[in-house]
Chains A and B, each alone.
Chain A
């Protein structure tokens, strides 16, 4: 039997029972829509995390001071204060492939201007920091290497800090008092949004690390050092060089643990994406269950249909249909139900994720791959759940089928 007539026969049978066909397809529609929307949400979250990781800067290695234990209480990274300014300079000088280094200290401090005050994150960095983070200024100018050398009282501020402290006024050139020390605001940063783990990255004041250490935070050690390498291929070598350089400088004997921690950006990214991957998988799996339930619906209806149309099958067999023709006919009906349901489900799924991203402002990302996979999977559900009823139809004995009441 030719393909055209088989298709024709299958679609006519579906049209004969419109309501039933629609309800059966609905199971698949909901399943596929759920898969598309859920994977869309998962992928959206993953893409956002990846974007934020990328915003840390390209080819960046982070070196943290070790933690310390005093009376049984361990501090976090940076607490031990093992990193010195000289360490950063040594890295700048001796590690190959390094194009930028930023010494970092940070504290949370109260800042004020006029009658407004605000608790914010104060970062001390080198002048190269904004280049490493690829963080351009919206307005004004950055602080310079000269400012760093002289520990000048200048700073750039994030968008959130600017709004909270200066309102609608232009902060550039104004005085910002940090722990009562007056600093001149030289520039306002472009907004960067929330970080991967939640905090508002724009709620920040960035100043030369020298100024921060001398005038705001105090102390002589760094919390961490940000190192940028020119080429991704140099990252592993640079990481190794940094470790051995620091071990040597800190006189760490062989066999002892490092008193610092080196993290490649990739490791941070891996950790963050692993989380969102798990979430995508979980959401997809839950949605997949509904797709399987839809498939069982198809199987159920196809079994009913085979029973109802036993006589029709008998007639077809009597006039010369092979078992294969009957099998194909019912299989096509099942696949038609599931794949038409799949196509409509994809449309609904895309619609649902658009609505979610607009009204719930969840980032969603629908890839062509997930659409293709959802479609093929729904067609596959049709084949899988349609096969048993179709085989049952094809195996009918023509005499008994014709006699069936």
Chain B
């Protein structure tokens, strides 16, 4: 994958109106993210990081300003055009996984393909879904329903679903918010691995030590970027896993 700007926000505003009240959720954010970056968006609740994430995810349109995704202006697209952008260029991972209940892992992963531009045959769908599931370590779990999977496994299914259309950007909204610390490290491991393969990852989190797995941290407050820096002491998930394993062994002794 070549380098270059994949996400470019130019003075983006988002204002919500509820009756007489106007809420400035994002007020004048400019941000550039290069291909292959791993960015953590940080901030307290109400800082506008979720709104920014929705804008980046093309789930919402900015009130003012411009959003160039992969050099295409997506600020003024309509509902269906945004849906096509989400389907083709973006992958979503949510805090609460958002898998379809009583539906197998494979079918959950196939979901974006059903709404894709290219119509695949059922064997093709299945082959692709199984390949991506294997890449996140879920070989042999294709037929399992979400209720039969652990939280970490469910989040892996969600990651596989986000990856199935080979997106430009993987967007994760508090991906470890519902997971214990060990599973969180596992998921961060997957993100780092994907990032090493060249996938751009943008992740919202309020946890300092989760953000430390990213390469770059962007701090928001009151709808504005207040800090933007490269992570100095970056956590490495593989090392972290080893450390966790050692400490468990110590406890056993």
A, B: real partners: yes
- Tell me the A residues contacting B by CB distance below 8 Å: 1-2, 5, 9, 12, 16, 311-312, 314-325, 398-399, 402
Nearest A residue to B85, CB-CB: A320
Instruction: Indicate the member of A320, A324, A399 with the most B CB atoms within 10 Å.
Output: A320
Q: How far is the CA of A364 from the CA of B234 in the complex (A)?
A: 83
Q: Is the CB of B115 within 8 A of A320?
A: yes
Known: A12-B103, A315-B100. A320 touches B112 (CB 8 A): yes
The 5 A-B pairs of least Cβ separation, nearest first, read A320-B87, A319-B112, A320-B115, A322-B80, A321-B115
Checking B86, B101, B119 against A319 with a beta-carbon cut-off of 8 angstroms, the contacting residue is B86
CB distance from A380 to the nearest CB of B (A): 28
Checking B54, B83, B100, B101 against A317 with a beta-carbon cut-off of 8 angstroms, the contacting residue is B83
Is B65 interfacial (CB-CB < 8 Å)? no
CB distance from A21 to the nearest CB of B (A): 14
CB distance from B170 to the nearest CB of A (A): 13
Q: Is the CB of A323 within 8 A of B119?
A: no
Q: Is the CB of B102 within 8 A of A16?
A: yes
Is B88 interfacial (CB-CB < 8 Å)? yes
Q: How far is the CA of A102 from the CA of B64 in the complex (A)?
A: 97
Contact partners of A12 in chain B: CB under 8 A: 103
Q: In B103-130, which residues have CB < 8 Å from any A CB? A: 103, 111-112, 114-116, 119
Contact partners of A315 in chain B: CB under 8 A: 98-100, 111
With A316-B115, A318-B98, A325-B115 already in contact, 14 other A-B pairs whose C-beta atoms are closer than 8 Å: A9-B114, A311-B98, A312-B100, A315-B99, A315-B111, A318-B57, A318-B86, A320-B84, A320-B115, A321-B83, A322-B79, A323-B79, A323-B80, A399-B54
Nearest B residue to A395, CB-CB: B79
Q: How far is the CA of A398 from the CA of B85 in the complex (A)?
A: 14
Q: Mark B32-63, 1 if CB is under 8 A from A, else 0.
A: 00000000000000000000001001011000
Q: Give how many B residues have a beta carbon under 8 Å from the other chain's beta carbons.
A: 26
- Tell me the B residues contacting A by CB distance below 8 Å: 54, 57, 59-60, 79-80, 83-84, 86-88, 92, 94, 98-103, 111-112, 114-116, 119, 161
Contact partners of B112 in chain A: CB under 8 A: 319-320
CB distance from B72 to the nearest CB of A (A): 16
Contact partners of B116 in chain A: CB under 8 A: 320
Nearest B residue to A5, CB-CB: B114
Q: Is the CB of A318 within 8 A of B59?
A: yes
Q: How far is the CA of A320 from the CA of B83 in the complex (A)?
A: 4
Checking A1, A311, A399 against B115 with a beta-carbon cut-off of 8 angstroms, the contacting residue is A1
CB distance from B234 to the nearest CB of A (A): 30
Contact partners of A324 in chain B: CB under 8 A: 80
Checking A1, A320, A325 against B86 with a beta-carbon cut-off of 8 angstroms, the contacting residue is A320
Nearest B residue to A323, CB-CB: B79
Contact partners of A318 in chain B: CB under 8 A: 57, 59, 86, 92, 98
Contact partners of B92 in chain A: CB under 8 A: 318-319
Q: Is the CB of B111 within 8 A of A402?
A: no
Contact partners of A317 in chain B: CB under 8 A: 83
Q: Is the CB of B83 within 8 A of A2?
A: no
CB distance from A9 to the nearest CB of B (A): 8
CB distance from A95 to the nearest CB of B (A): 76
